Chain A
Amino acid sequence: GNSVTQMEGPVTLSEEAFLTINCTYTATGYPSLFWYVQYPGEGLQLLLKATKADDKGSNKGFEATYRKETTSFHLEKGSVQVSDSAVYFCAPPDTGRRALTFGSGTRLQVQP
């Protein structure tokens, strides 16, 4: 199956700072890629996706570009808010099962 590597957290930023959370993956072929977010006390929810190489997914000010050359799908946001404090998961498909592979997640803490 596929595997994913995310940067270790927690990432602590001040409000309005620029955010990058790195994600690299190993995969067979060029599958769709996903970022999920988990707010405190909740289950995960889909944040954005990219369905093919060089595609850019975006939602709520977050963006991620599917780079097949570097097998990366880094998450970025130009100006974070306190409400963005959450755990972010990069999730490529698990081709061995009809499922996604979730990494360990990266906790983001945004301070006012």
Chain B
Amino acid sequence: DAGITQSPRHKVTETGTPVTLRCHQTENHRYMYWYRQDPGHGLRLIHYSYGVKDTDKGEVSDGYSVSRSKTEDFLLTLESATSSQTSVYFCAISEDVYEQYFGPGTRLTVT
């Protein structure tokens, strides 16, 4: 299995609070991705990174920001959590964009 971990694995937070999810890899892959998965919507791209300090928006980036200060870590921040951001969040890594390796996911509940 690719060395990719996500933390925390589960989190419950209140509306309006900031939340940061962490993705950590030990594979030295160039690309890192954050997705959210919701019933009926499949997997949607939030943000991705193509190198240290190089990031770009995905299709559902509003309300989220990311940072990548080291190759191995990609942080996703919900600046002010809302109930619509209750979801399962997946991180993925890739060396070539196409073959992506996914983490175990983080289940976030915003009350």
Q: Which residues of A contact B (CB under 8 A)?
A: 32, 34, 36, 42-46, 49, 89, 93-94, 97-100, 102-105
Contact = CB atoms under 8 A, between A and B. Distances in A.
Contacts of A49: 98-99
B78 to A, nearest CB: 20
A102 B97 contact: no
Interface string B27-66: 0000101010000111111001010000010100000000
Given A94-B45, A98-B50, A99-B33, 13 more contacts: A36-B100, A44-B43, A44-B90, A44-B100, A44-B102, A45-B101, A46-B100, A49-B99, A93-B98, A98-B97, A100-B97, A102-B44, A104-B41
A34 B97 CA distance: 12
Contact of A93 (B33, B48, B92, B97): B97
Judged by DSSP, the binding face of A is: strand
Contacts of A43: 90, 92, 102-105
26 contacts: A32-B98, A34-B98, A42-B105, A43-B90, A43-B92, A44-B43, A44-B100, A44-B102, A45-B102, A46-B100, A49-B98, A97-B56, A97-B58, A98-B31, A98-B48, A98-B50, A98-B56, A98-B97, A99-B58, A100-B98, A102-B35, A102-B42, A102-B44, A102-B45, A104-B42, A105-B43
